[in-house]
Amino acid sequence: MLIGSFLVFYYLYRQPVVGLFLLPIAILIIAYASMFANEVSPLIPALQSHWLTIHVMTVATASAVLSVSFVTGLIYLLKHVDTTRKGKSSFFLELVLYFLVVVVGFILVTSAFRITDYSASYQFENQQSEIQVYDYTMPAMVVPIDAKPVTGKAGSYEPANHYGGLLEIPNSIEAAKLNSVLWSFLIGSVLYGLIRLITRKKIAQLLQPFTNKVNLTLMDEISYRSVVIGFPLFALGGLFFAMIWAQIAWSRFWGWDPKEVWALITFLFYAAFLHLRIGREWTGEKTAWLAIIGFGTIIFNQIFVNLVIAGLHSYA
């Protein structure tokens, strides 16, 4: 969807530099997705509906179109911000690129432990006083409170000979998935440090030569147009279609599930983006930062909410 969105904007604006920055991000997303288990299991009966296709495809399209504004906003800032001087803009721009390196770290560490076929299981009592087991594909940094390492299959678990995690966390948090996030930041930070050490430059400075011929006004225009197109699509797929499906599946339109809440936050953020752009005439660097923050809300919903925060959407 991201590549398809780029092709549409390329047809309209003929800016290959957008593809130069967008393609690596699309590859990162595909590589990130490929690190998860690929076994297919049927959805629960309540969720088996044609609204699945309608909801997911509309949200995926909307998220991709909105993400184009992130790419053009990033290009704008790389061209506009003086990264040789210390300042807020320079710091936060480098922070954005650091987070992209963390995604690379996740891919590397997941691949490494997958090659070694590492696995460990921890048994604990969840909030409903039920015995539950988390399977880890990386050494445990965090485990649920009072979790015990076990081995075997459901119904016949036995004490294992490996040790527990470094830190115990509340059982309401998906410890095994949070563990993956922590490993990603650890390896991503090491990788970022190596890049800085070898090149003696910030990542932003390494990328700036690719933006020498960029037209800032045009980047700002593309960023705005992508939000104008993506916002109503997101409202349609992420809220309207999702609420119809929720009513069919769970007999309520809205339930304050973490995924629903962050979809609402994303919707309200881009509504504020358009208000500030049209009503307050925010342009240039201001809207470039808004585009990056908006992309952050999308990624937080797609990654952190899915991985760490338990809710009705945890089946995914």
Pairing of strands 158-159, 167-169: unpaired
pLDDT of residue 175: 79
Query: Which distant-in-sequence residues (6+ apart) come within 8 Å of 132 by Cβ?
Result: 123, 124, 125, 126
Which tens digit of pLDDT belongs to each residue from 238-284? 888 888 888 887 777 877 888 888 889 999 999 999 999 998 888 88
pLDDT of residue 293: 93
% of the chain with per-residue pLDDT over 70: 91
pLDDT of residue 271: 94
- State whether residue 121 is helix, strand or coil: strand
Computed over every residue of the chain, the mean pLDDT equals 85
Contact between 208 and 83 (Cβ < 8 Å): yes
% of the chain with per-residue pLDDT over 90: 39
C-alpha closest to that of 225 among 80, 79, 66: 66
- On the question of pLDDT at 139 being above 60, the answer is yes
pLDDT tier at 168 (50, 70, 90 boundaries)? confident
pLDDT of residue 114: 84
- On the question of pLDDT at 309 being above 70, the answer is no
pLDDT of residue 8: 92
- What pTM was estimated for this model as a whole? 0.83
* Amino acid identity, position 31: A
CA 86, CA 106: separation in Å to the nearest integer?
29
Contact between 249 and 46 (Cβ < 8 Å): yes
Give 67 or 159, the one with higher predicted confidence. Answer: 67
Give 163 or 234, the one with higher predicted confidence. Answer: 234
Give 143 or 62, the one with higher predicted confidence. Answer: 62
Which tens digit of pLDDT belongs to each residue from 21-42? 999 889 888 887 887 767 777 7
Query: Which distant-in-sequence residues (6+ apart) come within 8 Å of 189 by Cβ?
Result: 102, 105
Which tens digit of pLDDT belongs to each residue from 73-92? 999 999 998 888 888 889 99
> What average pLDDT does this structure show over 223-228?
94
- On the question of pLDDT at 160 being above 70, the answer is no
- On the question of pLDDT at 153 being above 70, the answer is no
The per-residue b/e assignment along 160-175, b for 16 or more CB within 10 angstroms, e otherwise, is: beeebbeeebebeebb
CA 243, CA 164: separation in Å to the nearest integer?
41
Which tens digit of pLDDT belongs to each residue from 232-244? 999 998 888 888 8
pLDDT of residue 156: 58
